[in-house]
Amino acid sequence: MTNNLISVFYLSASSWLLLALLCAVALPESLSIETRDKKRVEREHKRLARTGRWWDFAAPLAIFVPKKRVGRFRRDWNLLAVGTAAFTMLLVYGIYHMKFQYAIFTYAWGSEQLGYYLAYIGSARAVHLLLLLPAVIRLIRHYYGTHSLSTDHRLATFSVALDVLAYTLTSLSPPSAMWAFVLFTSMSSFAGGALPAMHALALGILTAQEKEEAEAAGSGVSVEVNHAGRLFGAFGLVQATSQILLGPLMFGALYSISVYSFPKAIFVVAAGLLAVACFCLTTVRLSKEDKHRAEEGAIEREHGGGP
């Protein structure tokens, strides 16, 4: 519409600059000075003791290893299930650019049509994340409590299931029906709450584990420096590996070998991966004690009592 293709790059650069400024001067520090000093000393000790092994970058992933729980015979597989669900779901994010290739190949779209499609998808996602999802969460919390681990579990599972439905319908719709492609692919915009819900669910599970360990040790409260940083570091590593590296590579290779025989293969594979993610989330088992401990931890963080 502006007839200036370079303007979008100026807009993107300005947005990143604004984000950098916000992170530098506006976002508050989440840790107290004492906690930061303690963390700094721990990192220095680890740095001095490090042997330089090349796989040390994957150390945060150890947090997903199933743990023995106090008074339980079986290990707790919940964090591994959530991490696996996030990994398989983020793989599907690699299909993003392949959707455009499919539209160009099937419907002979040009830059103008792709621009309208991107604007439509972006608007749908913005409406969902800014209006619909907060309203739904507020409504659910009104009936299930302020900090409910089950709410995060339900939201993550429902969002991934909606994504499964969207890609399944896209796979089954006739190739000639352009309206079906636009409608069904836009349904994925309403599954944008899946990853944040998984993060909240995993943090609640981790909080419950730490509180249980603290209670077993006799302190009754969580230690000041917990492993939430390692958890989100692990999620960051999962996202970088899955969404940025493996996902685009896999879907790009799949589309290149199937474009002339079965171009919708990318949507079939996406639906299958999301079904695996949904299954992993359904295997998460939350006890009443874990829900209560997670709720206590959320209240402590909200009021500044936690790390």
Average pLDDT over residues 88-99: 94
| DSSP codes of every residue in 111-180 | HHHHHHHHHHHHHHHHHIIIIIHHHHHHHHHHHH-SS-HHHHHHHHHHHHHHHHHHHHHHHHS-TT-HHH
92 vs 26: CA distance, rounded Å: 33
Angle between the 288-302 and 194-217 helix axes, to the nearest 10 degrees? 100
Angstrom CA distances, 189 to 134, 160, 177, 219, stand at 15, 11, 20, 45
Q: 37-51, 133-147, 171-185: which range is least confident on average? A: 37-51
Q: At what angle do helices 178-186 and 149-172 cross, to 10 degrees?
A: 170
Q: What is the mean pLDDT of the chain?
A: 84
Looking at 1.20.1250.20, 1.20.140.70, 3.30.70.580, 3.30.70.100, the CATH number of the domain 68-302 comes to 1.20.1250.20
Q: Is the predicted pLDDT of residue 306 greater than 60, yes or no?
A: no
Cα gap 189→30, rounded to integer Å: 30
CA distance 297 to 277: 26
Higher-confidence residue of 117 and 32: namely 117
- CA separation for the pair 125, 37 (Å, rounded): 40
Q: Across 58-62, 217-221, 233-237, which has the greatest mean pLDDT?
A: 233-237
Residues 104 and 220: beta-carbon distance below 8 Å: no
pLDDT value, residue 23 = 81
Helix (H, G, I), strand (E, B) or coil at 1: coil
Give φ, ψ of 223 to 5 degrees: -65, 155
> Which three-class secondary structure state does DSSP give residue 32?
coil
More confident of the two residues 122 and 31: 122
Euclidean distance between CA atoms 234 and 59, whole angstroms: 8
Q: Is the dihedral of CA 287, 288, 289, 290 positive or negative?
A: positive
Give 55 or 263, the one with higher predicted confidence: 263
DSSP string, 198-250: HHHHHHHHHHHHHHHHHHHHT--S--SS-SHHHHHHHHHHHHIIIIIIIHHHH
The per-residue pLDDT for 303 is: 60
CA distance 127 to 168: 23
Residue 242 CB neighbour total at 10 angstroms: 20
Q: Contact, 86 vs 195, CB < 8 A? A: yes
CA distance 44 to 199: 28
Q: How confident is the model at residue 223 (pLDDT cuts 50, 70, 90)?
A: very low
Most trustworthy range by pLDDT among 35-39, 47-51, 114-118, 218-222: 114-118
